[in-house]
Each structure stands twice: as C-alpha cells, then as structure tokens.
Amino acid sequence: MWWQSFTEGVAEHLVAEGIIVSLAGGGLIAWLKRRASSWLTPICWGISGTAVILIGVGALRLIAIPFPDRTQLVTSDNVEALVVGWLDHFRLNVRNEPMEGSFFRRVVTMPNGNAIAISRTRVQDHYVLLDAGLRPTDDDQRMLAKLTPQGTAELVDEMRLEAARLETNCTVTSNPIQAVFEKRIPITNALTEDLFIGKIDEMDSAEVAVQETVRIALRKNGLLAH
C-alpha cells in the first residue's frame, strides 16, 4: 500500500535525523556546561522532548506499521497447502480427484450444486486453474435441439456474453450446446485467500448466469414453462 511505504519512509527519515540531532545535541550540552551557560537547562529540556518524539516514532515503526507475513508468501511449493487451507476456512465440500499431468486437483461443490475443479498442471505450472462445465441434461438437450439455427446461434452468443461480463473465459459449443468455463490465477505473492475465494465466486456466478441464459432462451421460444 502506498501509505505504508510513505509512513515507513517518514519514520526512517526521522530516525536518521534523530541520530544526527542527538549527536549534535550531546556536543552542544557538553560545550554549554563547560561555559556554564544559562541556556543549558532549556536546551536540555528541548533535547529531551526531541528524544521522546523519536522514541514514539520508533515505536510506531515497530508496532503500528504492518510488515509482510513472510510465512504466507505463495510459491509453487506451498500453493497446494494454502489452497486446501483456504477452502477449509469456507467449509466448502471438497474432493481430491487427481488427474494425470497435474500436481494437484480438487473439485469443489458449491452450495448451489455447481462443481468447480481447482488444479495446477505441469503444462501451466505457474497458475492455479479453475474450470467448470455446463452440460444440460438429456431432457434439456432435447428441448434445445428444437431451437432454430438462428435461435441456437443467438443463445450461444448470449452465453458467451454473460461469461465475459463476469470476466470468465467460456468456450461454448452449439451441437450439442455445452459450455466450459476457465480462469487462470497466477502463482505470485499477490495471491491471497480473499482473491482466490473471489475468483471461485466469479466462476460460480458465471455458471449461474449462463444457466439462467439457457432457461430464458427456452422460455422465450415456448419450450419451457414459465
């Protein structure tokens, strides 16, 4: 955060200047004491006040300004453990489903029943991948097959548009109508629990939006009861 950098810079600057002031003040006090100057007492009080301020600044630097938690830096070595821990925090239903070519793969079932796979593959080992699929039931597919070619094309475009609106990559096929969603999260120090769970929520929202888009298209064409 910019304010942390600014505050740290000010604190360090004040501490550096404080050392200079302390050295200069000590020399000045010794010189005045030797000359038995009447300025000795007020200058001592002034330097004492400066010392109190510097002690307060030092305490702020050590206590109030947060330092990065180096134990939580995300790396390729600990990303799986962090991901599992973050999922546990939210008490999501998680299954371990390893897949060839992946370092790890977990499948999360959201409260609404949508399933999202979370993995790190050997091909894209610098990313945590989220992927999900929308495959209408056989009954839905029979109704979708009754759409005109124009109706099918419009539905495919609307499904892609809804996914894009929610910043989720989406590949849609028209025969049969299916959708595959994907998100890639870079494995960097910027990856946090909040960001990770937020991406899962975005993926789930994209699935819900596309599912509703299909239902709306079926209702509009008189293929699904209101």
Q: What is the pLDDT of residues 142-159, one digit of tens each?
A: 999 999 999 999 999 999
* Mean model confidence pLDDT for the chain: 81
Q: How confident is the model at residue 37 (pLDDT cuts 50, 70, 90)?
A: low
**Torsional sign, CA 194, 85, 103, 188:** positive
Best CA proximity match to 128, nearest among 136, 120, 137:
120
Rounded to an integer, the average pLDDT of 69-81 is 81
Answer for the pair 115, 107: CB distance below 8 angstroms, yes or no. yes
Q: How far apart are CA 115 and CA 204, in angstroms?
A: 8
Where b means 16+ CB within 10 Å and e means fewer, 132-171 reads: bebebeeebeebbeebeeebbeebbebbbebbeebebbbe
pLDDT of residue 70: 46
pLDDT of residue 223: 84
Share of the chain above pLDDT 70, in %: 68
Best CA proximity match to 32, nearest among 19, 22, 42, 18:
42
Name the residue ranges covered by the structural domains of the chain. Answer: 2-67, 72-220
Lowest mean pLDDT among 5-9, 187-191, 201-205, 207-211: 5-9
Residue 77 tokens read as 């070595």
What is the reported pTM?
0.67
Q: How far apart are CA 172 and CA 159, in angstroms?
A: 8
Please name the CATH architecture into which domain 72-220 falls.
Answer: 2-Layer Sandwich (3.30)
pLDDT of residue 39: 57
Rounded to an integer, the average pLDDT of 74-82 is 95
Percentages of the chain per state (helix, strand, coil), in multiples of 5: 55, 20, 25
pLDDT of residue 43: 61
Q: How confident is the model at residue 52 (pLDDT cuts 50, 70, 90)?
A: low
**Coil, strand, or helix at residue 189?**
coil
Residue 193 tokens read as 């629990």
